Structure 1
Amino acid sequence: MDESPAFSLSNILDADNHTEIEHPGRNGVPVGGWDEETNSKPVEEGSCVECEDQPAEVRCETCGNDIFCEVCFASQHRKGSRKTHVVKPLSGKEKPKPVVAAADERDERPEDEMDADDDEDYEDVPSAPSTEILLSAQPAVGASVGEWFVERCRYIPLRLNLGERKYLRLLEAALTVSEYTDKIDTIGYGLSKAKRIVQQIRELCAIMSGLLLSADYKRGQELFTDRDFQANAEFYQLIFELGRRHKIMNPEKMRTTYGKLIYLLQDSQTPEVQDLLSFSCVRPIKTVYTLLEENDGLDLLRDDLVTIATKEIYSEGRSRRDIQKDIKSKERAIETLASRYGRKDLTPDDVRLCLYSIGDNHAFLRTNRDPCERMIGYLKQYFHATEAKDSKSSLAIRSGKNGARLSHDHSKQYAYVIQSLTLWREILHEMFHLWSLAEGDLLSENVPYRLRDTGQGLNRVQAAPKTSRMMHQILNKAQRSVGSWVGSSVIHMGDHNVPNSLLFIDKYTQIYRILLPICNTLSQIEGLAAKPAIRSYIDDEFGSPDNLRREILGDFFRHGFDGSGADNFFDAGSCIDGRLTSAWNWCSTLEKKRYFHVFLLTGFTGFDGEW
């Protein structure tokens, strides 16, 4: 049998005809594509049957002696008939049955319209539902502030310096012109599996070689002279890591190029591609914690001045004198810490970079998480001020009326909305941690994806066990916070609704795009009303500025959380992801609302940054 041509960098870059370059199979077995259905691996003995990656802790005798970890058991046996299942810890000791805060009661939708995910998953709520909001943005009572910073900084990426930003621009330029996903994520491309692998390697070669040649001509010449990617592995890993780090810290950036980058890296993790490249394109994200740990500087995070050195200074409602005072106090704290902890292996500039990176995280939370807090405050004010005195102020919705797909009375809808906002707040507070786990799932060598038509085009459907487990922990935390839960607690992950963890992250980083414009408009109504001409318009159309504010809030709280936005309850409804789908559906109808002109008067340009 003739041997296949040697697969080298020289062949890839120089050969005109690549039809004969084949990657030899292993042990005589042809190489298969990773976008095909593969048999799932059996669950390891002693692992949870649900998440399959955590050690089991309890056994449910009613479920056929299935074993679960604590998180999966709590999420599946919290309500409905499942709460009565007989469960024992693996040690053999009887486990107390879960306590449910409120009696089970189905939603008021017709039985045949219930979401399959909603089965046995609804609870009624008290007439005065609990509205306690988690304060996880601060250390727990009795906990050390320093240890809270240490744990938090494990997932805070380092801010890019000037030299790294030069490489970032090269990466973005290369990804912008790349057609990687157009060529790879397609069915019936006309090439064999081995030839598709070759084409992916050529794409990787073109991107990485161009980046290196553009950034450093001398090193680029060495690459083309030696034809050795492995010798430059560290540089390529750095370039790709910079792009990932920049995106995590700035979710609004790289909106079209990050997907190409992460899918390219996802393919590079397959054994076939790694064998051809002889190195991995992926390296861990550089965080504040890793930099300090490598240089024995974690004591910096335990210093009391870190709180002052990283706090965000804002100007709303404050005098210039107070602002300047805070700025000087913050600058003194930064310089004191840089002098106190700076040394040869951890320079003062490194200390400043760590502090600025923590400050960037605070800015991220203020922009993304705090609008949820503001909307929760608006909701409480609305609920206690109106008390459902008339049909216009009531939050009640009914399936089939005005596009709603759920049926809730005034009190139940209030509980449903405040639970959703509380959950969004907790997700955004842990977004950097979730992002780290999401990339871990995407770039895992042991979790393949399948290219499938999900109804919204071809998507890479891939399980996300780490992200899913973290989401269940956040959901469990939010459920304990509010005391009772209305609607389904199903989290879609790795299915046609949310194909993979990349789309999950993209979905929840859009929350501030929904809530921030609404909060900005509401906060500017009083300023608009101070202008006589606009005040006359508001009085004639809505009666008063307060009536205008209540109309906007009431409409959003009703129809931004009514289960709409999809053709069936499997894709929307009251499940965790369906709540966000409903909010986006409300955004798409804003221009039809009679208060739309008020949004325009406050500078609204669209929920996506443009109109």
Structure 2
Amino acid sequence: MFKVFFSLFSPNCVTPNQTMNAAKLGAVLEGNDEIEPQQAVGHDNGNSYHDEHIARLKAEAEAQDCANRLRVAQEQLAEYAQQKEEDCNVLVQEADKLQEALARLSQRPGSTAAEFEEVAQQFTVLREKLADAATEARAFAAQQANDLASLKRSSAQADLQQDTDMKRARDGAVEEAEQDGQEDEEDTEEPMRGPISSQPEGQPSTSFAERARFIPVRLSHDERKMLRLLESALNVSEYTDKVDILTWRSKNQRVHAQIRDLCAILSGLMVAADYKKGQELIRDRNFADNAEFFQNIFELGRRYKILNPEKMRSEYGKLVYMLMDSAEPAIQELLEFRCVRQLKTVYRFLEERGGLALLDDPLMQTATAEIVAGSRPRHEVQRDIKIKEKAREALSRRYRSGALSEEDILQCIYSISDNNSYLLFNRDPIDRFIHYFHKYFKHDSHEPGYSLGIQGGRDGARLTHNHERQYHYVLQSLTLWREISTEMFKLWYLAESDMLREGNNYRLCDTGQGLNRVQAAPQVGRAMQQILSRVQSRIGSWVGSSVVHLGDHNVPNALMFIDKYTQVPRILNPVVAVLEELPRLYADPNLRGYIDATFGGVEQCRKSILVDFCRHAFDGSGADNFFDAGSCIDGRLTSAWNWCSKIEKKPFYHVFKLAGWVGFDGEVKS
């Protein structure tokens, strides 16, 4: 049905007849590239100009990519130098302690003074060498820190984040890009700006009032009907395939394709929802009259995706990229309305109706708590369910008003419960894995054959860590993933704010993983730095690089960042499920014989899985070079995916299959 809708709305059907903007829109839809008179372009200069234009685009993209790689390499080298300085200082301190112990030992009766004097001289020489090494390491670290500061200043002055695609005229001249500082300024007309949080900067959202600022409201029954309509329209759309290509000869052609496909989607949605209004829209092409309908249907699609990350995996990307294009001033002027509206969150919903007191009620904890059956008796589970239902009824009666009905209150409670469900299935697997990690490993010792140490160049590893260093490296990575999962709704909210903010342009670039939209994400970047700082202060020392890739060839934009970290539970959930399923498999006599013969028992099998995962899912592998994987924040997740891709070659692969594992992108059967 939707294919018919899209075929009806070709550019030849457009006859704008109301305003000047409508006339411009009609000209674009009919194939005329002239959006404004000053954008008129002369005759084409032939294939030579086109080839030169494409070559220039590729050269600029490669230059930007090389600059990003240089910056990342400089940051990692500076961190490496700092780590070496700390290691040398520790060695000097150890040498001092040994020298003091030797002096005490020389004073004991029965010792030969000449012998101890000779050994003391050797220790003195050793200490001097270590002191020289520490001095050199300190100077090297200071030099690298200065070079890094100079590189950042020169990069800011060069304004390497300028948009080379969206601001290019027909003759190839590039307009001046926005200054980096402008990205942090407040936009008084920003439709995505959220409420001001009273939570201290860098602290996680713990209260319901703070969490509710970023929790979307659950969709109603009528909204779910519109959602199915939106999903169907996006499913048949080829928006990104048509728009995100590098063969455009001018900005006008690209804008023409964007508006044409955007109008086709809008018209198809309107006809499918209301045939009469849809016919009027086709005849008059006045999209502004239906602005509220389009804003609502796009907003509910975004809301549903945040609450259900495993849904709309391809449709959501088309939706966000289309809304990114709709925020461009040229397109927004022609459409005469904004396609983007503020996300409907629980906090904003209650604030508009004077019901914020609901979030501070002590019963909210009981009304939204997750009930996990586990091995508990059925009557205990039923008792908890009844207590939860009574708490919901009490809250709905206590806070109902003329502006806030009982159904509205229940919808808000259900929305917060959805967030708790998300944490149960996305954060709790990380907690369970950390539990197994602490159970089977210690930082200062290990059983024979179960060392976590890795060596670069062996078994695909790019890092070299001894057991203690790898122990801390794995633990801090898991802790970081846990904090990101806890703050995922907030990060998602900020990611959409960055992507859909007016003036935050992007550039198309071949990142080595296909053609992607490279766009800055300042709000997500600041939030990630706060999370990283919180984890570092909690753990104490930090192993590896602390570089967060965002807006470069590794993580092109905020959407890729969100998609990357929603994969964490897909990696850890199957591993934890297999570890918990092993005792039940062992109860079968035939499987018991296989497990005993291959691994030596359940505990040994668990340790074999955990050792291999903690070694090679955190070994810096998974990319063509060190800077794209290594020990940086995003490289840790890249290594984990690389481990998943090689599961078939592991000795415990058959144990995974017996435990019901079907894939890291699927579900685990119970």
TM-score by length of structure 2 reads 0.73
How do residues 216-295 of structure 1 correspond to structure 2 at under 5 angstroms?
216-295=274-353
Note the alpha carbon deviations across 1:96-119, whole angstroms, 9 max, x for none: xxxx999689xxxxxxxxxx9xx7
Note the alpha carbon deviations across 1:320-369, whole angstroms, 9 max, x for none: 11100010000000011011111221110000000000000000011111
How do residues 372-383 of structure 1 correspond to structure 2 at under 5 angstroms?
372-383=430-441
Secondary structure in 1 aligned to 2:508?
A: strand
**Residue 600 of structure 1 is aligned with which of 627, 643, 657?**
657
**Residue 201 of structure 1 is aligned with which of 243, 256, 259?**
259
Contact persistence 1:334–1:352 (CA under 8 A): yes
**Residue 36 of structure 2 is aligned with which of 17, 21, 24?**
24
**Residue 551 of structure 1 is aligned with which of 608, 616, 630?**
608
Secondary structure in 1 aligned to 2:517?
A: strand
Structure with a larger share of its residues in helix: 2
> For residue 449 of structure 1, what is the aligned residue in structure 2?
506
How do residues 559-574 of structure 1 correspond to structure 2 at under 5 angstroms?
559-574=616-631
Alpha-carbon distance in structure 2 between the residues aligned to 1:315 and 1:232: 48
Secondary structure in 1 aligned to 2:36?
A: coil
Alpha-carbon distance in structure 2 between the residues aligned to 1:604 and 1:25: 61
> For residue 330 of structure 1, what is the aligned residue in structure 2?
388
CA positional deviation for 1:156: 0.3
Alpha-carbon distance in structure 2 between the residues aligned to 1:370 and 1:261: 30
Alpha-carbon distance in structure 2 between the residues aligned to 1:101 and 1:334: 56
Alpha-carbon distance in structure 1 between the residues aligned to 2:277 and 2:640: 50
Kindly tell me the number of residue pairs found equivalent between the two proteins: 519
Alpha-carbon distance in structure 2 between the residues aligned to 1:326 and 1:608: 33
Q: Report the AA paired with residue 614 of structure 2.
A: F
**Residue 644 of structure 2 is aligned with which of 577, 587, 599?**
587
Name the CA shift for 1:78/1:566 in 2 (closer, same or farther; >3 Å): closer
Name the CA shift for 1:29/1:396 in 2 (closer, same or farther; >3 Å): same
Q: Report the AA paired with residue 30 of structure 2.
A: H
Alpha-carbon distance in structure 2 between the residues aligned to 1:76 and 1:183: 38
The percent identity for this pair of structures is: 54
Name the CA shift for 1:29/1:16 in 2 (closer, same or farther; >3 Å): closer
Note the alpha carbon deviations across 1:45-72, whole angstroms, 9 max, x for none: xxxxxxxxxxxxxxxxxxxxxxxxxxxx
Contact persistence 1:80–1:104 (CA under 8 A): no
Alpha-carbon distance in structure 1 between the residues aligned to 2:451 and 2:40: 70
Contact persistence 2:28–2:259 (CA under 8 A): no
How do residues 10-409 of structure 1 correspond to structure 2 at under 5 angstroms?
18-24=30-36, 148-189=207-248, 192-384=250-442, 387-390=445-448, 392-409=449-466
> For residue 434 of structure 1, what is the aligned residue in structure 2?
491
Secondary structure in 2 aligned to 1:155?
A: coil
Superposition RMSD on alpha carbons, in Å? 3.3
Unaligned runs of 5+ in 2: 1-15, 43-52, 61-74, 92-140, 147-197
Alpha-carbon distance in structure 2 between the residues aligned to 1:385 and 1:484: 13
CA positional deviation for 1:195: 2.8
> For residue 464 of structure 1, what is the aligned residue in structure 2?
521
Name the CA shift for 1:80/1:591 in 2 (closer, same or farther; >3 Å): closer
> For residue 530 of structure 1, what is the aligned residue in structure 2?
587
Contact persistence 2:233–2:269 (CA under 8 A): yes
Name the CA shift for 1:477/1:412 in 2 (closer, same or farther; >3 Å): same
Note the alpha carbon deviations across 1:262-302, whole angstroms, 9 max, x for none: 00000000111001101110001100000000011000011
Contact persistence 1:160–1:246 (CA under 8 A): yes
Contact persistence 2:29–2:259 (CA under 8 A): no
Contact persistence 1:398–1:405 (CA under 8 A): yes
Q: Report the AA paired with residue 480 of structure 1.
A: S
Contact persistence 1:158–1:286 (CA under 8 A): yes
Contact persistence 2:369–2:417 (CA under 8 A): yes
Note the alpha carbon deviations across 1:538-595, whole angstroms, 9 max, x for none: 1111111111111001110111111110111110000000000000000000011111
Q: Report the AA paired with residue 242 of structure 1.
A: L
Contact persistence 1:7–1:23 (CA under 8 A): no
Q: Which runs of 4+ in 1 moved over 4 A?
A: 4-13, 25-30, 75-83, 100-105
Alpha-carbon distance in structure 2 between the residues aligned to 1:103 and 1:354: 55
Alpha-carbon distance in structure 2 between the residues aligned to 1:338 and 1:78: 56
Alpha-carbon distance in structure 1 between the residues aligned to 2:24 and 2:205: 55
Unaligned runs of 5+ in 1: 40-74, 84-99, 106-115, 122-138
Q: Report the AA paired with residue 209 of structure 2.
A: V
Secondary structure in 2 aligned to 1:331?
A: helix
Alpha-carbon distance in structure 2 between the residues aligned to 1:374 and 1:102: 36
CA positional deviation for 1:197: 1.1
Secondary structure in 2 aligned to 1:460?
A: strand
Name the CA shift for 1:549/1:281 in 2 (closer, same or farther; >3 Å): same
Note the alpha carbon deviations across 1:201-249, whole angstroms, 9 max, x for none: 1111111111111112233233234431001001000011011111111
Secondary structure in 1 aligned to 2:628?
A: coil
Name the CA shift for 1:81/1:567 in 2 (closer, same or farther; >3 Å): closer
> For residue 512 of structure 1, what is the aligned residue in structure 2?
569
Alpha-carbon distance in structure 2 between the residues aligned to 1:516 and 1:182: 33
Alpha-carbon distance in structure 1 between the residues aligned to 2:350 and 2:589: 57
Secondary structure in 2 aligned to 1:284?
A: coil
